[in-house]
């Protein structure tokens, strides 16, 4: 719990992230801050969420994107989500064209979908994971490919076309051919946005591959296959792990990558406001206590130096396939990008990890999959 002096900020547009830390599955395959079998915390948690939002009410923020993530937000009763959204609409300036996303599981019933839509949700992110029956069983996931197909039909029946699939890799038994099969389903269903995530879960669910280079090779082949197959059918590979058809990029996520202002509410959420990064408490009791005391539940407060901002800017911009604009960087930070980072750039250009094309420094097609090595050098 930390107290922060409230400053008067210039009116700006903000993204708003709402974290729902309850999950339906025992295994935390996504690696996010989430809890299984804690239903007794749901009611007090959503009450605390609204009370946290009250602490931002006087800021006069303009909200241009809302993202409800988890965990599994659709695990909680839909009335909790609706109440939070209604509070936001009543107390914040939400733009008419605000992108409003919620993460759901494929078995979410239609009555909940309808309630979300009535409450203004206009983008749905489905945790599809894979269409492979054996893969889902190995991950102890209860939905199947027919549930994924059905939830897409439900959304389309309710005039929702802005849909994302979250796909995960690698799981035990996964092959490149199985990945291609997943992509065929994505093409047939005409899903306009696809996100690809590395599996983060309990140790027993991670493939038992003794040689690290063998595991790296599989991941590389999967990423390369996804990128090639999706771009061939009209998707733009606009961020390392994200693919979109024209007009369907995730506006909320782009705010993160551009280091725009955003607010995160809920357990473990992060906020970035005017060059300061805030991280909320990660334990329920500490989070509840701060809210009860009328204080924002910050666990970490980091005021970025110019150097911090510069390095995070490079990392964020390089995460976008378009990379860093040299001219824009030099103007923003008053230094010459090619001079300051000459040794790092020379090293990774030689290794064919990055390239300079016109005004842009960006990853090569190969380099996209070795981005962490470049980031470590920059840091």
Between CA 373 and CA 376 the distance in angstroms is 5
Which residue shows structure tokens 């988890």?
A: 70
Are 115 and 78 contacting, i.e. CB atoms less than 8 angstroms apart? yes
Token digits for 339?
């001079």
pLDDT 10s digits, 102-160: 999 999 999 999 999 999 999 999 999 999 999 999 888 999 999 999 999 999 999 99
Are 304 and 338 contacting, i.e. CB atoms less than 8 angstroms apart? no
Mean pLDDT along residues 316-334: 95
What angle, 0 to 180 degrees and rounded to 10, lies between the N-to-C axes of helices 176-189 and 145-157? Answer: 20
pLDDT 10s digits, 314-324: 999 999 999 99
Are 321 and 230 contacting, i.e. CB atoms less than 8 angstroms apart? no
Higher pLDDT, 203 or 324: 324
pTM of the model: 0.91
pLDDT at 227 over 50: yes
Between CA 45 and CA 216 the distance in angstroms is 40
Higher pLDDT, 335 or 25: 335
Q: Which of 96-100, 155-159, 215-219, 295-299 has the lowest mean pLDDT?
A: 215-219
State percent of the chain over pLDDT 70.
93
Indicate the pLDDT class of residue 29, thresholds 50, 70 and 90: confident
Token digits for 81?
């989500």
pLDDT 10s digits, 170-189: 888 899 999 999 999 999 99
Between CA 201 and CA 374 the distance in angstroms is 25
Indicate the pLDDT class of residue 26, thresholds 50, 70 and 90: confident
pLDDT at 208 over 70: no
pLDDT 10s digits, 252-297: 999 999 999 999 999 999 999 999 999 999 999 999 999 999 999 9
Between CA 148 and CA 365 the distance in angstroms is 31
pLDDT at 93 over 60: yes
Higher pLDDT, 11 or 102: 102
- What average pLDDT does the chain have? 91
Q: Is 102 left (phi over 0), alpha (psi -120 to 50) or beta?
A: beta
pLDDT at 8 over 90: no
pLDDT at 15 over 80: yes
Q: Which of 81-90, 195-204, 293-302 has the lowest mean pLDDT?
A: 195-204
pLDDT at 28 over 80: no
Mean pLDDT along residues 31-50: 94
């Amino acid at each position: 719990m930390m107290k922060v002096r409230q400053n008067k900020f210039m009116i700006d547009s903000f993204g708003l992230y709402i974290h729902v830390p309850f999950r339906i599955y025992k295994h935390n395959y996504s690696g996010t801050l989430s809890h299984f079998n804690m239903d007794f915390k749901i009611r007090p948690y959503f009450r605390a969420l609204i009370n946290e939002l009250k602490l931002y009410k006087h800021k006069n923020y303009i909200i241009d994107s809302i993202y409800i993530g988890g965990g599994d937000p659709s695990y909680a009763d839909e009335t909790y989500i609706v109440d939070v959204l209604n509070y936001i609409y009543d107390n914040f300036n939400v733009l008419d064209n605000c992108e409003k996303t919620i993460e759901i599981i494929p078995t979410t019933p239609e009555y909940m979908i309808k309630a979300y839509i009535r409450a203004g949700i206009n983008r749905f992110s489905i945790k599809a994971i894979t269409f492979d029956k054996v893969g889902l069983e190995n991950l102890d996931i209860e939905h199947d490919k027919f549930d994924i197909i059905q939830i897409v039909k439900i959304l389309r029946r309710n005039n929702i076309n802005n849909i994302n699939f979250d796909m995960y890799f690698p799981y035990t038994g996964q092959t490149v051919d199985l990945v291609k099969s997943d992509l065929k389903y994505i093409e047939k269903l005409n899903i306009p946005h696809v996100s690809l995530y590395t599996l983060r879960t309990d140790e027993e669910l991670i493939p038992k591959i003794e040689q690290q280079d063998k595991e790296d090779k599989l991941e590389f082949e999967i990423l390369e296959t996804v990128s090639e197959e999706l771009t061939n059918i009209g998707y733009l590979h606009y961020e390392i792990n994200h693919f979109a058809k024209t007009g369907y990029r995730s506006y909320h996520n782009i705010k993160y990558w551009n280091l725009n202002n955003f607010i995160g509410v809920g357990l473990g959420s992060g906020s970035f406001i005017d060059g300061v990064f805030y991280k909320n408490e990660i334990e329920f009791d500490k989070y509840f206590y701060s809210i009860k005391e009328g204080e924002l539940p910050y666990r970490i407060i980091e005021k970025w130096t110019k150097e911090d901002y510069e390095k995070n800017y490079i990392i964020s911009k390089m995460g976008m396939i378009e990379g860093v604009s040299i001219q824009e960087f030099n103007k923003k930070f008053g230094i010459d990008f090619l001079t300051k980072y000459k040794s790092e750039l020379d090293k990774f250009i030689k290794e064919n990890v990055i390239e300079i094309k016109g005004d842009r420094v960006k990853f090569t097609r190969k380099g996209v999959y070795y981005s962490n090595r470049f980031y470590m050098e920059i840091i």
